[in-house]
Amino acid sequence: MMSAVEICSADIWGGLLHHEVVARVRGLMREMEVCVTEVADAAQAEDKSTARRPSEGKSRDSLASTGVVWEACDAVIELETLDVGGLAVKRAEVYRDMIKDAIEELKEWGEDVDDDEEEDDAASDEDDVEDMFAAANKMPKDHPELRHLLDDSIGKLKKVNMLYTAITKRRIKTFGPAAARQVVHVKTMDELVDKLKQLPEMVDELANSFYELDEDEAKTQLMSTITEAQEAIGLVKLSWEGKEDEFTAWSTKWTEVIK
């Protein structure tokens, strides 16, 4: 197992797979150490008093720890099936969901606050306090230009989110064993996943600019996000065989629409 970590070097198999192998093997070794320690403690307790069996709680701990070790083993074995492409799919789906959540938060923040509602009796004071806090977490109505920028940003972020689905289906899921054995393709996949990882972080920065009502910074962050997305799609515009296909044509249209 430790030899496998050394063999799976980043120079050949890519940083994505290498770091995942290291992380999962490290996790397995850590859980094995915990399990062995618990078994040793139980054995020591048995030696001290042969008439008294190890506590039931201790037995359950050892059994649970054994189960965790098996799970860690399964996680290491899973890498053989996942390979580079399978890992990239998992990462891309996580990053896509992060952007989707950010879009929903921005949409909620941009919802209009109705301040024309009539007040009820004094019994509604608690509700009024809650409404006041909610209004503080909403976009002010006296920023029409920021409102327009927010709507434009949400529309473009939806297209970025769509990009994840298209890249995952047309490029990452088609990254088979043949492509994974070519260093040039593995490096491209590493670059692609890195950009897909950076995009949610950039979207968070964009969202913070809106929350701080900083229109100029929001424009800058939006442009940076779009540029990063364009670079991501540019990496895999051609198929892994170096040919144009349906995704190539789609990516060209996407690049034009996102501007």
- What pLDDT was estimated at residue 256? 94
Tokens of 174: 């088609």
The listed range with the strongest mean pLDDT (34-38, 79-83, 201-205) is: 201-205
Q: Is the pLDDT of residue 131 over 80?
A: no
Q: Which of 68-82, 149-163, 235-249 has the lowest mean pLDDT?
A: 68-82
CA distances from 39 to 22, 51, 63, 155, 198 (A): 26, 18, 9, 57, 43
Tokens of 5: 């970590």
For residues 253 and 229, give the distance between their C-alpha atoms in angstroms, rounded to a whole number. 14
For residues 168 and 190, give the distance between their C-alpha atoms in angstroms, rounded to a whole number. 14
CA distances from 204 to 105, 165, 193, 212 (A): 10, 20, 18, 12
Q: Is the pLDDT of residue 73 over 70?
A: yes
- What pLDDT was estimated at residue 129? 44
Q: What percent of the chain has pLDDT over 90?
A: 67
Q: Is the pLDDT of residue 116 over 60?
A: no
Nearest to 85 by CA among 227, 231, 226, 236: 236
Q: What average pLDDT does this structure show over 95-119?
A: 80
Tokens of 203: 């979207």
- What pLDDT was estimated at residue 117? 43
- What pLDDT was estimated at residue 161? 97
- What pLDDT was estimated at residue 118? 39
Q: Please state whether 213 falls in left (phi above 0), alpha (psi between -120 and 50) or beta.
A: left
User: Band of the pLDDT at 62, cuts 50, 70, 90?
Assistant: confident
Prediction pTM value: 0.80
- Judge contact between 84 and 16, C-beta under 8 A: yes
- What pLDDT was estimated at residue 56? 47
Q: What is the 3-state secondary structure (H, E, C) of the chain?
A: CHHHHHHCCHHHHCHHHHHHHHHHHHHHHHHHHHHHHHHHHHHHHHHHCCCCCCCHHHHHHHHHHHHHHHHHHHHHHHHHHHHHHHHHHHHHHHHHHHHHHHHHHHHHHCCCCCCCCCCCCHHHHHHHHHHHHHHHCCCCCCCHHHHHHHHHHHHHHHHHHHHHHHHHHHHHCCCCHHHHCCHHHHHHHHHHHHHHHHHHHHHHHHHHHHHCCCHHHHHHHHHHHHHHHHHHHHHCCCCCCCCCCHHHHHHHHHHHHHC
Q: Is the pLDDT of residue 114 over 60?
A: no
Q: What average pLDDT does this structure show over 66-87?
A: 92
CA 123 to chain centre: 45
| pLDDT tens by residue, 208-246 | 999 999 999 999 999 999 999 999 999 999 999 999 999
Q: What is the largest CA-CA distance in the chain?
A: 80
> Which residue's structure tokens are 């938060």?
105
For residues 66 and 34, give the distance between their C-alpha atoms in angstroms, rounded to a whole number. 9
| pLDDT tens by residue, 134-156 | 445 788 888 899 999 999 999 99
- What pLDDT was estimated at residue 44? 81
The mean of the pLDDT values for the chain is: 87
Tokens of 232: 């991501």
- What pLDDT was estimated at residue 137? 77
- What pLDDT was estimated at residue 123? 45
- What pLDDT was estimated at residue 47? 72
Q: What percent of the chain has pLDDT over 70?
A: 85
Tokens of 197: 């990882």
User: Band of the pLDDT at 125, cuts 50, 70, 90?
Assistant: low
